[in-house]
Amino acid sequence: MKNTVIGIAGGTGSGKTTVVKKIISSFPDDRVIMLPQDAYYKDQGNISLDERKLVNYDHPSAFDNELLKEHIKQLSLGHSVDLPVYSYITYTRQKESIHIEPGEIIIVEGILVLEDPILRDLLDIKIFVDAPADVRFIRRLKRDIMERGRSVDSVIDQYMNVVRPMHMQFVEPSKWYADIIVPEGGQNEVAIDLITTKIRSLLMGI
């Protein structure tokens, strides 16, 4: 059976990860696997920590999309890959990796999955998860404070000076490449059910 590659994009805090988790939970036998674009941030270990903090991590150039595209190709050929592990505390790629076996359905999730035209060409189904800007900001604020050790002021400053401009320049325009737009992210049970139904039909060869 040919692998099907599904791209799920959307702004920070839009609910992409929740959507993916709900989809994968419907298929517990590892037939559906996920590659998070966040794991493919470029390693910043060659510069000082202060310099790393100044890198624009919401710009397409922050991602090692070449490695991501190569991993998609290898998984599509039935080969396993080693998923990078990235630290948001040190802004570096860790020595360890996560071994990923190929699945019949490959989900690629991240803010800029639909921005790169070559990456888009590898996707059979393109999905954009949407949510109001204020909701996305509140979710990011809570996540960065609780999971990434950031201060309130630093999150607000980064959002206003980097995240929001990059969203408007790169993420929002990529919405128009989507086959499906999912409003309200993980709360949209109807959309998630439609997507899982489509995946189930692919797995059954219908």
31-57 confidence digits (pLDDT tens): 999 999 999 999 988 899 889 888 899
Residue ranges per structural domain of the chain: 4-203
Per-residue confidence (pLDDT) for residue 206, from 0 to 100: 53
Higher pLDDT, residue 169 or 27: 169
Residue 185 confidence (pLDDT): 82
DSSP state at residue 161: I
- Check residue 205 and give its pLDDT: 79
**Average pLDDT, rounded, for the chain:** 92
Q: How confident is the model over 122-160, as pLDDT tens digits?
A: 999 999 999 989 999 998 899 888 887 788 998 899 899
Q: Helix 16-25 crosses helix 189-203 at what angle (to 10 degrees)?
A: 50
**What CATH number labels 4-203?**
3.40.50.300
pLDDT of residue 28: 75
**pLDDT at residue 24 in the model:** 93
pLDDT over threshold 80, residue 86: yes
User: For 143-147, 159-163, 167-171, which range has the lowest pLDDT when averaged over its residues?
Assistant: 143-147
Q: What is the pLDDT of residue 20?
A: 94
pLDDT at 161: 92
Contact 113, 179 (CB under 8 A): no
Nearest by Cα to 199 from 121, 119, 124, 138: 124
